[in-house]
Amino acid sequence: MHRVPIDLDAYHQQVRSTACFVCAFLHGDPGFEHETLYDDGDHVAFLNRYPTLPAYALVVPRRHVEDVVRDLTTQEYLGLQAAVHRVARAVAAVTAAERVYLLSLGSMQGNAHVHWHIAPLPPGVPYEQQQYHALMNENGIVKYSPEQLAKLGADIRAALSP
């Protein structure tokens, strides 16, 4: 897996000073486009713009919520988790992942919209480069061409089909 460097200062400035990237994406704002994988009306999944692992996806509620515990009812949380599980199974099938990491990250200081990360670990990654190391963009990001991104999205959408 080849990673390229990311300008962390620019990234941090962007996420802390611009509009909610999820809401901007969902509203179709220019510059916030992502490859959409899934949309059930309440939740949307899309490929991460700054992936540290191949086929790294995010799942979000359409409604802007900032706290996964306080802002979601039990029913809403379970609905979100059902969407995460469905997308994660499709991502795992497409990537033949050794392990799929699922976690909710973000901060009230940046990327506040609740979003779940689906990060598939490819087989054969040395142990020292797994877990948090594999997730840290300080270690670089996977760069896709637009064609590669579109194909990956199509493959995952096909795996999501009933």
Taking the C-alpha atoms of residue 65 and residue 115, their distance in angstroms, rounded to an integer, is: 9
Assigned token pair, 129: 């480069």
DSSP per residue, 86-146:
HHHHHHHHHHT-SEEEEEEEEETTEEEEEEEEEEEEPTT--GGGSTHHHH-GGG-B----H
Name residue, tokens 């692992």.
53
Q: Give percent of the chain with pLDDT exceeding 70.
A: 99
Over the chain, what is the mean pLDDT? 94
**Ordered domains of the chain (ranges, CATH):** 8-160 (3.30.428.10)
- Per-residue pLDDT tens digits for 24-77: 999 999 999 999 999 999 999 999 999 999 999 999 999 999 999 999 999 999
Max intra-chain CA distance, the chain? 42
Contacts of 63 (CB under 8 A, 6+ apart): 42
Q: What is the pLDDT of residue 98?
A: 96
H-helix or E-strand spanning residue 44: strand 43-47
Whether the per-residue pLDDT at 162 is higher than 80: the answer is no
